[in-house]
Amino acid sequence: NVQLNFIPVNSEVKVGDIIESSGLGGVFPAGYPVAQIVQIDTLGDNPYFKISATPVAKLNQSHKVLIISQEEQDNWQNDFDFDFDFDLKANPEKNNPIGKGE
């Protein structure tokens, strides 16, 4: 599991929520699932939750990962006249680093 730090206790988070990439750093597109919250604890008068989450990716089985953005997919289709038979779109409407679980 991974720990989320500095999430204020007045935040609306619950076990089962999915954490998604925010896109803020410009490295990863917004909306890709990263982890799922499995435990939320409060520590006395500490203003932050202690949150544990399980990564969505099977990190122990992955050696390399390639993320293709929608823009890159469109460019490749135009350049090579190739039809992708799957949808690579993330959920750009969720630009919040802490997405809501379903």
Query: In this structure, is residue 49 part of a structural domain?
Result: yes
Tell me the C-alpha distance between 73 and 55, whole Å. Answer: 25
Query: For residue 45, which amino acid is it?
Result: D
**CATH number, domain with residue 9:** 2.40.10.350
Average pLDDT rounded to a whole number, residues 8-26: 92
Query: In this structure, is residue 47 part of a structural domain?
Result: yes
Q: Which pTM value belongs to this model? A: 0.59
Domain limits for position 39 = 2-80
- Per-residue confidence (pLDDT) for residue 40, from 0 to 100: 97
Q: Domains in the chain: how many in total?
A: 1
Query: In this structure, is residue 28 part of a structural domain?
Result: yes
Within 13 Å, how many C-alpha atoms sit on residue 13's CB side? 27
Query: In this structure, is residue 26 part of a structural domain?
Result: yes
- Per-residue confidence (pLDDT) for residue 70, from 0 to 100: 66
